[in-house]
Homo-oligomer: A and B are copies of this chain.
């Protein structure tokens, strides 16, 4: 077998052993190699020539991002009618909450789902946010990859500027109807009403209607989308999403009307305090890559390397900048735009050898232990609750923070897989559970050591509701539909530590609970016999009834004291 072991030649990491089930390679017979002169046969070996470089070139062309996503709509969460309805509501609600919070407004949302035909719905989401400037309305709702959050490093629900225009595009594709937007930026301003269709060939908005309307609200935005969908209750439902959103966003008020229900559901604010507004930060030097560093230096407005490092990165003081330059053997006064390629590489290596403070974490806004506990306690009748908010950590230069809540026992079913609620930047994640770093972290823990049962490769079984939240300036989702978090090692580590901490607390509770139960059982046995001892002693020693009662009382006292230690 020619497959070489790693021990020959250059050292190669082989820490992961070859899977024992890996089939053999030796069936692939070893043949004398073609000579170096002609390793590639000179001409087509078989078959009629079907295509040439020229005939292929004719068909090679640009693909617009909207064409791409309209064909790959499952990437955005429009795989099926049921998910499409949920995704549409979700994208609009996420945007509304982000806008309200950015403007310092306590969010009040109206979410309406009107059923037009069996599979045809009109979704309306209205907020009391700051509204949208007229010129931006068509771009925001009629163009994929357009937005304000992509180039900013801070915690937000939206990231990429795709979601709501994709929902509008899906509506257009399935029903031919425009997305309708009403928006007003203040009481002195007019309310604008737009009907917009995305031109998928160009990824540009086509404005169908543009007029000023009367609107009873002084500021806010209302989005209406008609689409093919399915409305169902249960797991992965819009109802579930709205309920979980209310749990993770206690400062938010939601009026929610669904088909088949006359009165809208009114989810009250549980808190009138807005979460502290996360601040946007500059990239951290540890997260930067060589290629990005080269581009940043080319594009920098600074004239000196030291100033570049201090101004374009976070956590680089004058002292740190000097140290980096010294390590890289570069002058702090050098012009960043005229540094040679090999010098940039030295700079890059130097950055990673100098100790730099962790990124600022005021770009994060975690939910916090008390709020998680409050949410769980309101939610679930259990006998034991615990919650952990880990300190912020960093992956690829991005700060993030993991929080875990756990409810155990009580009304939760004891013989089912644990119920896992996943959140990212306060947004409930509904689909792709198995692909998510959160799920992988839960699966990777040996829950049997915390007193639960668990089969190989499966979630543990027990009366447990797990709440896991990742807050980050940039959540690395596994797809644009933002349903699962990618498993970066740093994230997995924090998840594991948080879950283990909750697990240990749970184990202590389960053990104590078991001991207490056994204790109580023993006690009840002994208690049962005390009156009989009283009776026997009275008969043998001729005690009065009072002495007997005293004795029984004393014995019970002693039992109480000795057994409750």
Contacts and interface: CB of A to CB of B under 8 A. Distances in A.
A464 B104 CA distance: 59
A68 B162 CA distance: 10
A57 interface: yes
Contacts of A219: 43, 53
A236 to B, nearest CB: 8
B75 A480 contact: yes
A234 B161 contact: no
Contact of A478 (B74, B150, B488): B74
Interface in A252-270: 255, 258-268
Interface stretch (A125-133, A530-538, A557-565): A125-133
Nearest to A13: B232
A231 B324 CA distance: 30
A172 B31 CA distance: 37
Interface in A31-86: 31, 33-34, 37-54, 56-57, 59-65, 67-68, 70-72, 74-75, 79-80
B262 A8 contact: yes
Contact of A67 (B62, B110, B150, B289): B150
A480 B476 CA distance: 14
Contact of A232 (B8, B16, B160, B273): B16
A486 B79 contact: yes
A444 interface: no
B474 A71 contact: yes
Interface residues of A, number: 174
A534 B557 CA distance: 83
Which of A30, A176, A455 is most buried by chain B, counting CB atoms within 10 A of its CB? A176
Interface in A424-449: 432, 434-435
Q: Please indicate which of the listed interface residues A63, A148, A263 has the most CB atoms of chain B within 10 Å of its own CB.
A: A63
Given A53-B131, A104-B44, A261-B4, A233 B18 contact: yes
A290 B175 contact: yes
B290 A27 contact: no
Question: Most chain-B CB neighbours within 10 Å: which of A20, A173, A479?
Answer: A479
A9 to B, nearest CB: 4
Given A108-B40, A216-B38, A456-B455, A33 B64 contact: no
Contacts of A126: 39-40
A146 B41 contact: no
Contacts of A266: 2, 28, 30-31, 33
A28 B268 contact: yes
B147 A60 contact: yes
Contact of A416 (B17, B21, B61, B379): B21
A27 B379 contact: yes
Nearest to A49: B104
A458 B511 CA distance: 29
Contacts of A264: 33
A140 interface: yes
Contact of A115 (B10, B43, B56, B465): B10
Interface stretch (A291-299, A309-317, A357-365, A547-555): A291-299
B53 A132 contact: yes
Contacts of A28: 243, 246, 265-268
A136 to B, nearest CB: 5
A235 interface: yes
A31 B274 contact: no
Given A9-B260, A176-B291, A255-B33, A147 B40 contact: no
Nearest to A488: B79
A344 interface: yes
Contacts of A43: 218-219
Given A176-B344, A435-B435, A24 B379 contact: yes
Interface string A376-406: 0011100000000000000000000000000
Nearest to A101: B50
Contacts of A135: 57
A29 B260 CA distance: 21
Contact of A104 (B4, B50, B272): B50
A74 B432 CA distance: 16
Contact of A61 (B40, B80, B148, B289): B148
A53 B220 CA distance: 10
A49 B173 contact: no
22 contacts: A8-B260, A11-B260, A20-B413, A22-B234, A23-B380, A27-B379, A34-B255, A40-B127, A47-B104, A49-B104, A50-B102, A50-B277, A51-B130, A53-B132, A53-B185, A57-B135, A61-B146, A80-B489, A173-B289, A200-B295, A456-B458, A479-B479
Given A20-B413, A23-B465, A432-B478, 9 more contacts: A3-B239, A18-B233, A21-B419, A28-B267, A33-B266, A43-B218, A45-B272, A52-B103, A68-B145
5 closest Cβ contacts across the A-B interface? A4-B261, A173-B291, A455-B455, A435-B435, A59-B148
